[in-house]
Chains A and B, each alone.
Chain A
Amino acid sequence: MPSPRKLSRLLCAALLGALLPAAAGAQTREVVSKQIGVGRAQASLRLEFAQGDPLSIRFDDGSIELNDQTIGSYDRGDALDTAWRELLGDAVSLDDGALAQRLRDWTPPGKVAGSEAEAAQRLDRALEDALSASAAPNAPAPPSPPGAPADMDRAMRALVGRPRRLQELGRAIEDLDLSRVQVHVGEDVRVAEGETIPGSVVVVDGDLELKGEIDGSVVIVGGALHLDEGGRVTGDVHLSDARIFRDGGEVEGDVSNVRFDRGDVDRDRIRDEIRRELREEIRGRERSMGPLGRTGRELGELLGILLGVIVMGVLGGGTAVYFAREQMEVVAEAARKAPLRAGAVGLAGAFLTLPAFVLGGLALIVTIVGILALPFWLVLFPVALCLALIVGYLAIAQSVGEWVARQRFSNLDWVRVSNPYTTVFAGVVALSLWLIVAHVIELFGFLRFVSVLLHVLGAILTCVVALIGFGAVLLTRGGRRPAYADASSWGDPWDDEPGYGGSSPSPAAPETPVEPPAQPAGGSTAEPPDTP
């Protein structure tokens, strides 16, 4: 009877590749290299053996090649092509004896046409011949371990005939120290109380009842580990198609479940990849968006907004006031007196802009003569539209600025009603205040929901202001028809509500300082004193 150490060496060598081909050597030849390619039009296999010529089979766009010689043809997706691809799909995950066995066992499908059937038979024979041990020139006789017990031979034969179990075992013992290992196949193992086994124990198709100690790791494939009181494993426990029953024992290392199922493996791989990518993504974001980075970005955005406000208020507002002061005031008056109507007109105008643009262009084309004017239409219409939006917005901003001036805020005495430049600028700042505050909040990194709320409300406010301004521009024909600014002719319900500038029909605001009225603010002539 060989010693346990001798048996373990024998079996481990077998399980890791040396014994497998040897045990299977009576049936299959040793494959040392495989290359499998599968694509849209190709499905190829190339095998190299320890001795002798390699075997190459290639399905390539309708042609079947055996060792670079065409032996027949096939139709893509037919039974033979499908069977061949299935075989290669299996072969990808197999090695050594299991691979050879699977390839040898392959039989072509029965439902193939005559000429194709001949090629299929040749393939089958080629695989059989190439993988038979007798095909190897001067192949040495497979080593038979002297003194190997008959039951061990049976176990090995049982393992060799079960490639899946072998693969599970292969995966389970990947990290095992093979210099000290006992392997038991198809038998239950019992380690009694007080007994210590030096080294690892592998049990295939059997149970391990552990009441003593194993000074190493335990691998169970297709069985169970009963860890009883006093039982102890100093290393890891790897389970493959196996279970562990703990009843007081302990495992000092990790307990892992080694799964073989290819679907599981793929799922695990995909999950790990997703986790890794997420981790990298988060890490990258954290790296690039650390506290300082985030603050810097928010500060940059805040400065950008301030710059935009200044450009809009100073340059845009200044230019608009300089060139179209009266028109802006007419527009502002119209918006003040009938904001609802102006908003409705602005909304309708926004919806009708595109149809008007298209229809206008078509009309010019239809009239033939108008074709000459078409380029101007295409350019000037969008320009006019933008100008209308900007002027409308600035007109509203001017009204807001005038309201600010009347509030007499400390430090804001430079905003005067008599100076439309300051009122426009103050109005733009006031209308953008929500955005500035939102970014200041983000700068400090807390109350983010307030910041989001401000963003949403501010966006709505901006749209409303733009629509009202746009509508007022349309109503007053670009501020050239002051009569339209008079809400009384429209029967606006808002007429009863005194506006910021009062109900003066005059579109032009007074430029000279006016004494404050005795009546409450908001009256028809509620103009604040304007200190020059």
Chain B
Amino acid sequence: MSRVQLALAALLVALVAAPAARAQELQTFTASRRLGAERDLHVRVTYGAGRFTVGSAPAGLLYRMQLRYDEDAFTPVAEYDPGELHLGVESIKKGHIRMGKQDTPELQVDLARGVPMELSLDFGAGRANVDLGGLSLKQLQVHTGAAEARLDVSQPNPLGMERAELEVGAADFSARRLGNLNARRIEVNAGVGDVSLDLTGAWREDGAVSVNMGLGSLELRFPEGVGVKLHQKTFLTSVDAQGLVKRGDSYYSPDWDRTTRHITVDIQAAFGSIDIRWAP
């Protein structure tokens, strides 16, 4: 399609979509809770469609939530019981998601840093920007649908985590500094799309990463100075194992035998490409 055709199509879409966007009025909902004596918390955040942001809350707050939503389709959720926190929206009318460039539904959730938590993020469609830096995570589950999602662990998790699970639907998903999660095992299940996993960060112990990918491209970024072992079982998938040496059935980083920290990556993929990159 030529540029002119693209411009005309965009103009047409804009003309058609403009009245709908104008007609949409979003309700705002703000909730926060002071930090108490929480020792352990299971946090569940569910969000359908729109812009989704997760970060850390200011000192003294257990959580802070700012939501803009379509009240005809959703109802806000901010439920707290000792040990349980559920934030986000619940759908009250199916098939009624409206999104416009002018007035986009939005959820921003900020969580306390010092509270040990099991975090579950369930995000449908739209754009997500999640920064888990500094949160005290004991367990992590991230589920995204058709989304453009960015996950960052900008600061190390002070707690150890047995398993982090990332489920990606049809999405453009990128995760940065996953080493900061301090997880023994990271599992990534991706359907269709572009997935970028940056495994840099502060690895405090050896980690195992398993990636199960359907159709799409996968980029893995490893930190230099950490031994990497890559085992792949692929079908019609091109692999650019840059900087890795094949030994037997697996690829190894040249310094595998010398490094104190090791990352073992197990990939199952079909129809796509796998690219290995190294971060200094």
Contacts and interface: CB of A to CB of B under 8 A. Distances in A.
Given A33-B80, A174-B58, A174-B59, A39 B32 contact: no
Contact of A95 (B25, B29, B34, B129): B34
A31 B32 CA distance: 10
A96 B32 CA distance: 11
Interface in B30-44: 30-36
B58 A170 contact: yes
A63 interface: no
Interface in A33-68: 33-40, 42, 48
B31 A35 contact: yes
Interface in A476-517: none
A189 to B, nearest CB: 23
B32 A40 contact: no
Contact of B29 (A17, A33, A36): A36
B27 A92 contact: no
A37 B60 CA distance: 22
A28 B31 CA distance: 20
B214 interface: no
A40 B34 contact: no
B60 A35 contact: no
Contacts of B25: 39-40
A32 B61 CA distance: 9
Interface in A1-50: 16-17, 31-40, 42, 48
B238 interface: no
Contacts of A42: 27, 71
B224 to A, nearest CB: 23
Contact of B31 (A17, A31, A33, A178): A33
A39 B61 contact: no
Contacts of A95: 32, 34, 60-61
A383 B209 CA distance: 62
Interface in A389-447: none
Nearest to B71: A39
B78 interface: yes
Contacts of B29: 35-38
A207 to B, nearest CB: 26
A16 B59 contact: yes
B58 A36 contact: no
Contact of A96 (B34, B36, B71, B76): B34
14 contacts: A17-B34, A17-B60, A32-B34, A33-B32, A33-B33, A34-B31, A34-B32, A37-B27, A37-B29, A37-B30, A37-B76, A39-B25, A174-B58, A174-B59
Given A16-B60, A33-B80, 9 more contacts: A32-B33, A32-B36, A35-B30, A35-B31, A38-B29, A39-B26, A39-B71, A40-B25, A95-B61
